[in-house]
Structure 1
Amino acid sequence: MKKLGILVINCMIIFVLTGCWSRIEINDITIVTATAIDKMNDGKIRVSLQVAIPKQLGPVGAGGSVGSNGSTVIISETGESMMDAIRRLQEKLPRRIFFSHNRILIIGEKAAKDGVYQILDYISRVREARMRSFILFSKGEAASILRLTPVIERYSSEAIREQEKTGVGAKIMIKDFFNMLTTEGVSPVAAEVAIRSEEKGRNSSKETAAIVGSAVFHKDKLVGWINDKDTRGVLWIRNEMVKGNITVSIPKEKGGGKISAELKKGRTKVKPILVQSKVKMNVNIQAQVEVFENSSKLDLGNPKVLQYVQTLMEKDVEKRCELALFKAQKQYQTDIFGFGNAVYRSHPKAWKEQHRNKWTEEFPNLEVSVNPHVSIVRTGLSVKSPEIKD
């Protein structure tokens, strides 16, 4: 009797653990690799999907080729809302739309200026949506970015994703953008992607996608753009500078030339200081760099010369940060650095009672002190330029 009871229990467990009831076969789904969203003149939303063609996604030689756009196809449809546009897209396709492999989300300028909350609200509710996909914005139509044929990667979404992973710009995922939207004292910022012409031959060129700067938001609406140079300052202040170069020019009286170094390690600490209900921000930047190029006549083996070059690099970092601060404070008046959130975390009571409701008015006049400290940790195999003779 005891053995019979154990047998019955085991049978019940087997039935409970069956996991194939909700399976989805790969030949029943349409794999989306990228999504582009634009706002039309009539107010409708156009959703464009970059869809993978399964038979073209094998190894090179087994179907498709590097640089070919034959591995994906772009399909578009408009609707009154995101859900309406997706429903219309589904009517065009024989397979179920599947977002789990969506790598990037690009939103056009017109849609971004009208507010992106409606778009992100739908994406956050889709079961297969990947919140770790990168979010980017374009000045023109977002759909045109997806139609480009990359030089190395198989399709444009993969090329853009790889650029984002290198840290050449603001590396913001959908979940990060959501956090900025819902967090007190910080406004969203994300990378700007644009079409750039690249010379292919003597009389021909090829259009490719490139990360060229950042999109600046106030709440969920786009208010402006920051170029690539000023974006570096934003990344320094936000403690998101993971890769970059610092190039300084040596004055003519010291021989002229340039010295370039690559960032090896960087860290930024933002410290808010309250003085009689007034806020002041101290931005302390620590950076370790390695010299990779020296076309000047300076001998980097000399400690005094090395200190002089470090000072020039500190001034360069400070200038980039000041340019970014000017754009955010005076031109767009939106706190993309998270200074308000820093006040909230350090002085929660003062933030709630004195600054939360008037931070929009306080931020443009906020006093910010940028204190960079750059250390040259390596100078390469040679401390002198090849032109210098003993």
Structure 2
Amino acid sequence: MMRISPRSGALAAMAALLLLTGCWDRIEINDMAIVMGAGIDQDDQNKVHLSVEVYLPTGSSADSAQSGSDSGSSKDQSGTITASASGGSLSEALGHLQERLSRRLYWGHNNIYIIGKKRAEHGIQEDLEFVLRFIGMRERASFYVSEGRANEVLQVVPYLERSAVEALRELSKTQVSTEVDMKHILERIVRNPEQTFYVPHVLSGPEMVDKGHIRNTDEPYFRGLAVLKNGKLVGTLDNDSMLGTLWLTDRVKSSTQIAYPAGRGKITMSLSSSSTERLPRILPDGTWEMRIKVRYEGDIVQNTASLDPMKPEELEQIVEGANTYIRSRIERALESLQKKQADVLDFGEQFHKKYPKAWKQEKANWGKRFAEVKPVLDVQIATVRQGVMTGDIPSLFRREEGGDE
């Protein structure tokens, strides 16, 4: 048996302790500037202007506050500060921004990137490339395009949330808009030869606020969708076309409401479920056709029309009204997207799966072929539930006025 001297044992223990160095790269939370949201703009010198909204813990000092419009920080009333800097690229702008902050920027909680309109029109390919490569960025953060400058949106002070980025994120979860994160964009870029995708379109900061950047609740946050092709903004879709696009891509939320005129009033229906199926066909005459089959269920939540869903002939009018409403939104979205030659609907992928040889021939010029695809709509409501009461309120009032029969 080999003997180990006490001296040798002590040296071995000391060597082991040297290896136990702990978390050498750990950063204390007091040394972090936690980024809640980021805005990317194109400045007047065609440089990248990066703005970040940083969480400000209660009682901490905004020691990074500086003067100056392009490189300073501004403290607002929501517990955050907005800091910004410019550079020849997004990585260079980030480096300049870090130089002006006493704490290290931490991106682990960043939920949102807002792209200013001017930057989106210039192109965001390089920005996306950096976000994907930089280890600190989150790939599940959502993307938005603003009508004006992104840094103006970050400075909006909302009433119900801690910051504008939180308000946007919460609204994206509802029927008001939709969520599009970096993972979704990357999938679109890989699958689509012309790299087309859409993101929520946000109003400009000045449109959303009163004096002092305080949120004006009379104005919405969103205005439809922004459509990008090959990394550049090619146009926007209004709210009606946005709803049609969500139907076409099977991303309509169950809480979505539709309201349409019927009889002498209006029917409002809340969706409980929906599904969209796309069936591509290439006809013998060479026509490319896409059959779009939409099925959904809904609950009547308000009926101010003179229509009684308990009567088959009047229920048929309600059903046809709902189908016409949805069909018109889908047609409007298709018309706008085909005019832009921007296939954000994955039509190309559907044809690729069914007709790989034909797709290979059209792939290089898919935008033009997409504009020629003939849509065939089949929109039908599967179930209409009328809610707790039967009939409609106007008919009940008329009955009261005429007395009991």
TM-score range, shorter chain: 0.7 to 0.9
Kept after mapping to 2: 8 A contact 1:187/1:338: no
Deviation larger for 158-167 or 32-41: 158-167
Residue 344 of structure 1: aligned partner: 352
SS at match of 1:318: helix
Deviation larger for 185-194 or 310-319: 185-194
Shift of 1:205: 5.2
Once the two structures are superposed, residues 298-329 of structure 1 have per-residue CA deviations (whole angstroms, 9 ceiling, x without a partner) of 11112332232111111111100000111111
The aligned amino acid for 1:191 is: P
Once the two structures are superposed, residues 73-115 of structure 1 have per-residue CA deviations (whole angstroms, 9 ceiling, x without a partner) of 0001000101110000010011111111111100011111111
Residue 33 of structure 2: aligned partner: 30
Once the two structures are superposed, residues 243-290 of structure 1 have per-residue CA deviations (whole angstroms, 9 ceiling, x without a partner) of 311112114xxxx11110011111111111122343210111111111
Residue 92 of structure 1: aligned partner: 100
2:184 maps to which of 156, 159, 176: 176
Aligned length: 369
Residue 239 of structure 1: aligned partner: 250
Residue 288 of structure 1: aligned partner: 297
With over 3 angstroms needed to count, the CA separation of the structure-2 counterparts of 1:351 and 1:77, relative to structure 1, is same
Distance 1:235 1:19 in 2: 50
Distance 2:370 2:108 in 1: 39
2:262 maps to which of 250, 253, 257: 250
Shift of 1:197: 4.5
Once the two structures are superposed, residues 183-216 of structure 1 have per-residue CA deviations (whole angstroms, 9 ceiling, x without a partner) of 225611110011445799xxx9568760211101
Kept after mapping to 2: 8 A contact 1:150/1:156: yes
Distance 2:337 2:116 in 1: 21
Residue 388 of structure 1: aligned partner: 395
SS at match of 2:173: helix
**Structure 2, gaps ≥5 residues long:** 61-75, 400-405
SS at match of 2:276: strand
Once the two structures are superposed, residues 40-69 of structure 1 have per-residue CA deviations (whole angstroms, 9 ceiling, x without a partner) of 121101000001112269xxxxxxxxxx73
Distance 1:227 1:216 in 2: 11
- Residues 92-171 of structure 1 aligned to structure 2 (within 5 Å): 92-171=100-179
Shift of 1:17: 9.2
Residue 61 of structure 1: aligned partner: none
SS at match of 1:382: coil
Distance 1:369 1:189 in 2: 23
Once the two structures are superposed, residues 1-57 of structure 1 have per-residue CA deviations (whole angstroms, 9 ceiling, x without a partner) of 79x9xx9xxx99999998623322111111000000000121101000001112269
Shift of 1:181: 2.0
The aligned amino acid for 2:260 is: V
With over 3 angstroms needed to count, the CA separation of the structure-2 counterparts of 1:14 and 1:363, relative to structure 1, is farther
With over 3 angstroms needed to count, the CA separation of the structure-2 counterparts of 1:14 and 1:170, relative to structure 1, is farther
2:88 matches 1:80 = yes
The aligned amino acid for 1:138 is: S
Distance 1:209 1:96 in 2: 34
Deviation larger for 263-272 or 276-285: 276-285
Distance 1:29 1:20 in 2: 16
Shift of 1:235: 0.4
1:365 maps to which of 366, 372, 385: 372
Distance 1:199 1:385 in 2: 41
Residue 222 of structure 1: aligned partner: 233
2:310 matches 1:301 = yes
User: What is the aligned-residue RMSD (CA, Å)?
Assistant: 2.9
The aligned amino acid for 1:283 is: I
SS at match of 1:272: strand
SS at match of 1:106: strand
The aligned amino acid for 1:340 is: G
SS at match of 1:384: coil
The aligned amino acid for 1:215 is: A
Distance 2:135 2:240 in 1: 38
1:53 maps to which of 50, 56, 68: 56
Deviation larger for 227-236 or 179-188: 179-188
Distance 1:372 1:386 in 2: 28
**Structure 1, gaps ≥5 residues long:** 58-67
SS at match of 1:130: coil
Kept after mapping to 2: 8 A contact 1:281/1:369: yes
Distance 1:12 1:379 in 2: 77
Output the TM-score relative to the length of structure 1: 0.87
Output the TM-score relative to the length of structure 2: 0.84
Larger radius of gyration: 2
Shift of 1:345: 2.2
Identity %: 29
Distance 1:82 1:326 in 2: 35
Deviation larger for 363-372 or 191-200: 191-200
